[in-house]
Structure 1
Amino acid sequence: FIFKPEFAKKSRGEQFFFVNDRFIKSPYLHHAMSTAFEGLVKDNCHPGYFLFLNVDPKSIDINIHPTKTEIKFNDEHTIYAMLRATVKHSLGQFSVAPVLDFNKESDFDTPYAYSKKSPVNPSIDVDRSFNPFEEDSKSRHGNGHFAMKKQKSSSWESLYTELQESGLSQGTSSVLGLSSFEVELESEVITGRLFSDKGISTKEVTFQIQNKYIVCAIKSGMMVIHQNLAHQRILYEELLKNMTVQEAVSQQLLFPLHFQFSKPKVELLQTIKEQLEYTGFDFSALENEKVEISGVPAGVLERSVEGILEQLLSDIENEVPDAGFSQNDLLAKSLAKSLAIKSGVFMESEAQEHLIHQLFACKEPSVSPDNRPVLVTLDASDLDKKFM
């Protein structure tokens, strides 16, 4: 039994697997269900289902988890493929998913009035009096030059150039052809001028809409930036860099934080302890069901540490490794999502500009770590059409 795509929810809790009438949890099979619903449910939504599987007891191993809720199949790849194909077939059978239509399309038929006419050979008109060596040929046939229309660049480098020409900053830089600016990261400082010498007011450069989007003027119109996704991209690249070079800034706590986690979760934390320490976490104790933290990444509030770790462990448990799986990449994505500025948070003008500068210092500023668009541009011509 599977739910229709419109009943998918952002929270998990309506996904149930039963193998030989025993309830189990399987992130691998859940991934098969998610791919079967791909394109039918919204992002970050999970389809609901109740699936009963009957398999040979000799082909499974139920002794891989203390609670007996996880099992190992001898041939899990075949079960994955069968489950995905079966669900996609059911969605197509009941017209939930789009299917191919092999009916003949009458719009492409030859009209009746032309169906019996014989084809006519095309004719080519040639100016036989044309002489390319005559000097006055240019006056008769044109000067042979065409005005090349300059294509509008859609790259993010051009957007940043337009942004600076609009008054955010001025000057030149040797890095990526961007104007100089001042951004201080944990590992490096890029010096330069943030404001132009004209003394433009910062409040006239950027502003927020619904405490969710940052709007700034560019030469061709305006640019709208999603503040949460932009900050995710900034933190993702910074965390990934810290884990790669194995260095980060840790904020030591006056009083260590103590948490209680289940034994499986503590064991999972032990496997990623080294990577987390490179992001700024400092574990003073990690054993049995106790977790003691004496240091956290710079800027992280103490009251949010437990939620960050819970979300991180949940993401790891529900992630299905693929061919390009990287544990550092998964940790960076999860931590960036938890630490990023949330939608609905007010930002001062200086903070907005600083966020923009940090964003365009990233390698991929146009997309979030989950490949969602971070910014959109609106041309002035499109705005003009709204008032016609």
Structure 2
Amino acid sequence: MSSIIQLLPDHVANQIAAGEVVQRPASVVKELLENAVDANATDIKLIIKDAGKSLVQVIDNGKGMNVTDARLCFARHATSKIRHAEDLFSLHTKGFRGEALASIAAIAHVEMKTKQDQEELGTQIVIEGSKFVSQESAVLPKGTSFAVKNLFFNIPARRNFLKSDTVEYRHIIDEFQRVALAHPNIHFTFYHNGSEMFNLPTSTLRQRVVNVFSGKTNEKLVPVQEETEIVSIQGFVSKPEFAKKNRGEQFFFVNDRFIKSGYLHHAVMAAYDGILKEGAQPSYFLYLTVPANSIDINIHPTKTEIKFDDESALYAILRASIKHSLGQFNVAPVLDFDRDANLDTPYHYKDLEGVTPTIQVDSTFNPFADDKVNKHYAGSGSGSGSSSSGSSSGYRKPAATASWESLYVGLKQESEFPTESAEISFESEEVTASLFNDEEVEHAVQNVYQIHKKYIVSPIKSGMVIVDQQRAHQRVLYEQFLANMTVHQASSQQLLFPLNLYFSSGEMELIAELKLSLINTGFVFEDTNDDHVVISGIPVNVTESEVSMLLEQLLSDLQDGIPENSFSQNDTIAKSMAKSLAVKTGTSLTIKEQENLVNGLFACKDPNVSPFHKPTFITMRVEDIDKKFAI
């Protein structure tokens, strides 16, 4: 009987390993960029075509490889960074498993050119699906160039699972930004289909963040720095007023390696507790340096998850550091219950010197003088006002005015007022007109009721209907926006002053693709630049203050990709805008607003569910209510 278990051929094993390492073109970009960084390169160029499906090329000026290393780097489990198993717990480099190049070569056409500085000639190798096609010497510049073409050419099923070019390109941008942010001392250049997308010269950490995300990034950054025995923290967090709906600009780097950590993210959010709006996400660019032997980065194939030895201490230090920075730069509110603000010195008195008060003494005053004498002096004529004899008993009392009681004499006597006062008429403060007549108000009060600022109750013949105000408004707005984009020509309201809204490069790519659909919705774009858009008109049912929030929510909803056909694209935009603009739970509505919402809901084509397929209302029959009271 023949054996059942057998060893897999090398090319099959490489393709299986490639499934873990290479999931999309962005995975190739990550591996090649990290290899270039490990080669001590100071200038790295990334060139891609068709979102990496046709070409991913990384050119660096690093130390290069000799002939033997150039051939051996494509072998499985071949690495220059590990000699012993203990080295896994003291890593200072990026890629270390020795599977990346072997996996990439198994599913693509690879051309590698490399040369060391001291060598006269370099090596050029061409591989197609793990098969060495050619290897020859060539005149090359110092460094290494990897060109990966026709990704997944021999695995059509995997290629069919790739997303649209827009989605794959955005994933490549994410990987490029992560490597570029971790190494501000390296010059990075990024080209897509012949156009330069990024040119990041060697700079400081703050300049690198600003160069990557452009716009008004510089003014929203708050520096964070802390030195402890456990961890060294530096980087930046954003001011609360610049928080966004999505979690795009959030980066953790541990020992210059990008990681994802929900635990550390919770520490950041805890530092912002009380100063962020509900649902808002702050931006942060935090660089943590810890001892290499205190972390384990070999727990995930992409090495984006790390296990820390003392997570609780790291959590406390990170939270305290961010909270301290927000307070130090007067971003977070400071409450001091022991300080009385009324005792603060006003600004215009702060630098003034005290003035010595002057004291005047009446030398002629005699408290024991006879009242007759005082009256004599008080009632003396208009002659000289000085004392005639200079005696100390001659107190001069000023002329007495009428007694204060005289001010109130006659107030209670009606005869003191003019008789015409009864005929004086005053303007009535009673409102003589209202927006709705009494019959309408009475009718409204009897038909709709709001409960807990969440539900609207309206009686019907068979019982009553309970409407979820937020979901109902979402359905009404959704059908309005969809009709504007597909059937009617949307109306716009022109802005007196155009809005300048700044976005990152990846977000600008999305806006460029959505521009036509947004115009059909009612937006008017006056200008579109590399890092911002100028909007001069907005839909009629959108306020100026809601535009930024609406676009942020739309970009957040489309992070996973824009639908290919126009109807699905319009449907997605309409859903996102309806979710952003719908009245929220906890909002108090007037009687007329409640009526309009209920009437608008049941005028929809599909009033039963919201755009997100959740029920908008329920009905309760009188019989069901009677059963509740049955004994």
Provide TM-score, normalisation by structure 1.
0.51
* 1:209 aligned onto 2:454: no
2:475·2:578 contact (CA, 8 Å) conserved in 1? yes
| Deviant stretches of 4+, over 6 Å | 21-26, 60-63, 322-325
Q: Does 1:252 align with 2:359?
A: no
Q: CA deviation at 1:269?
A: 0.7
Question: 1:119-198 counterparts in 2 under 5 A?
Answer: none
Deviations 1:235-291 (A, max 9, x none): 111111111135112121111111110122112111111111111111111120011
Which residue does 1:173 correspond to in 2? none
Answer whether contact 2:524 2:535 (CA < 8 A) is retained.
yes
- C-alpha offsets along residues 115-153 of structure 1, whole Å, 9 cap, x if unaligned? xxxxxxxxxxxxxxxxxxxxxxxxxxxxxxxxxxxxxxx
Within the alignment, does 1:357 sit opposite 2:404 as a pair?
Answer: no
Contact 2:517–2:570 (CA<8 Å) still a contact in 1?
A: yes
Do 1:246 and 1:278's aligned partners in 2 also have CA atoms closer than 8 Å?
A: no
Q: Aligned residue for 1:315?
A: 557
1:26-71 deviations in whole A, cap 9, x for unaligned?
Answer: 9xxxxxxxxxxxxxxxxxxxxxxxxxxx88324477994334369x
- TM-score norm. by structure 2 comes to 0.32
Count of residue pairs brought into register by the alignment: 221
| Mapped contact 1:235–1:336 kept (Cα < 8 A) | yes
- Distance, in Å, in 2 between the alignment partners of 1:261 and 1:349 is 40
Structure 2 residue 315 is matched with structure 1 residue 268: no
1:368 to 585, 593, 610: 610
1:262-341 correspondence runs (5 A): 262-319=504-561, 321=563, 326-341=568-583
Over alpha carbons, which structure has the higher Rg?
2
Q: CA deviation digits over 1:193-238, x for unaligned, max 9? A: x99x999521111011111111000111100011111111111111
Q: CA RMSD in A?
A: 3.4
Structure with higher RCO (Cα < 8 A, 6+ apart): 1
Q: Measured at CA, do residues 347 and 199 of structure 1 come closer, stay the same or move farther in structure 2, by a change above 3 Å?
A: closer
Q: In the alignment, residue 21 of structure 2 is paired with which amino acid?
A: N
Distance change >3 Å, CA 219–CA 322, structure 1 → 2: farther
Deviations 1:2-26 (A, max 9, x none): xxxxxxxxxxxxxxxx963999989
CA distance in 1, matches of 2:551, 2:500: 12
SS in 2 for 1:341: coil
Q: Is the 8 A contact 2:22 2:104 kept in 1?
A: no
Within 1, Cα distance between the matches of 2:545 and 2:560? 25
Alignment of 1:39-54 (within 5 A): none
Distance verdict in 2 for CA 1:235–1:199, change over 3 Å:
closer
Q: SS of the residue aligned with 1:66? A: helix
Query: Residue 346 of structure 1: CA displacement?
Result: 0.8
Q: Output the amino acid matched with 2:612.
A: D
CA apart distance, 1:304: 2.1
SS of the residue 2:559 aligns to: helix
For the 8 Å contact 1:226–1:374, the answer to whether it is kept is yes
- Summarize the Cα distance change of 1:282–1:351 in structure 2 as closer, same or farther, 3 Å threshold: same
The answer as to 2:584 corresponding to 1:345 is no
Residues of 2 paired with 1:218 and 1:354: CA distance? 16
The SS at the match of 1:201 is helix
Shift of the alpha carbon at 1:335? Answer: 0.8
1:243 aligns with 2:485: yes
- 1:384 aligns with 626
Provide the C-alpha distance between the structure 1 equivalents of 2:523 and 2:26, rounded to a whole number of angstroms.
30
Counterparts of 1:281 and 1:327, CA distance in 2: 16
Gaps of 5+ in 2: 1-18, 28-98, 109-147, 152-167, 178-435
Residue matched to 2:21: 20
Shift of 1:376: 0.2
Amino acid in structure 1 at the alignment position of 2:582: A
Residues 199/334 of structure 1: CA separation in 2 closer, same or farther (3 Å cut): closer
CA distance 1:239–1:320, shift in 2 (3 Å)? closer
CA gap of 1:212–1:304, structure 2 versus 1, over 3 A, is same
1:23/1:69 contact within 8 Å kept: no
Deviation string for 1:274-330 (max 9, x for gaps)? 111111111111120011111111232222211110110111122585999711111
